[in-house]
Amino acid sequence: MVQEVKPTRSELLKVKNQIKLAISGHSLLKKKRDGLILEFFEILKKAKTLREELVNEYRIALEKMNIARTLEGDLKVKSIAMAIKEIPDIDLTTKNIMGVKVPKIKGGEIKKAFMERGYGIYNSSAIDEAAAAYETVVEKILLAAEVETSMRKLLNEIEKTKRRVNALEFVVMPRLNNISSFIRLRLEEMERENIFRMKRIKAKVQVQ
């Protein structure tokens, strides 16, 4: 015969403390989730603006490149492109948004002066205008990469936090409340049984 395990008041106190911790954790996670959602929508606004700017800058750069190709010829444009050896450095660090590490991308000197581009002096300004336009495109691409990667990381963290909030709200806290109710009811039942037993003992003693 399996002996019944009787709950104790210390076990009830332990469960009550676990409930308090769960409630506190649930509240903090909800605040974190809401804060992350606000940050996400702020970055989303930047992303939309950057995408529009990038598309516009790329269209301008393409037009300028087509002008340069028309005036100078494809062969000359390609040879000038091959002559450029210096590649801008990309400095990749991170920043913290509510506990989420997101990238901070900083390019070296993307925009250069006419004489710094390394392809010498040419009579036509069309090539220089095209180069300047594509430098602007590269800057926008770096900004877009930073913003859109940050969005993805924040979205992943929002989903994780939502799952934790739901787990606490719909699984952990109901389970702990059920355990607490069971222990409390069982203790009350044991108390009544004990009182009834004591009354029986007292009645037997009085009869003797």
pLDDT digits (tens, 9 = 90+) for 8-26: 889 999 999 999 999 999 9
1.10.287.3240, 1.10.8.590, 1.20.120.140, 3.20.20.70: CATH of 28-160: 1.10.287.3240
Where b means 16+ CB within 10 Å and e means fewer, 154-177 reads beebbeebeebbeebeeebbeebe
Q: What proportion of the chain, given as a percentage, has pLDDT over 70? A: 86
C-alpha to C-alpha distances, 170 to 140, 162, 180, nearest whole angstrom:
44, 12, 16
Q: What is the pTM of this model?
A: 0.77
Compute the radius of gyration of the chain from its Cα atoms.
35
Asked whether the beta carbons of 62 and 187 are under 8 A apart, the reply is no
Task: Return the pLDDT at 150.
Answer: 94
**Average pLDDT along the chain:** 86
What is the spatial distance between Cα 127 and Cα 74, in angstroms, rounded to a whole number?
11
Domain layout of the chain by residue ranges: 28-160
What is the spatial distance between Cα 152 and Cα 145, in angstroms, rounded to a whole number?
11
Q: What is the pLDDT of residues 146-195, one digit of tens each?
A: 999 999 999 999 999 999 999 999 999 999 999 999 999 999 998 888 88
State mean pLDDT over 130-140: 89
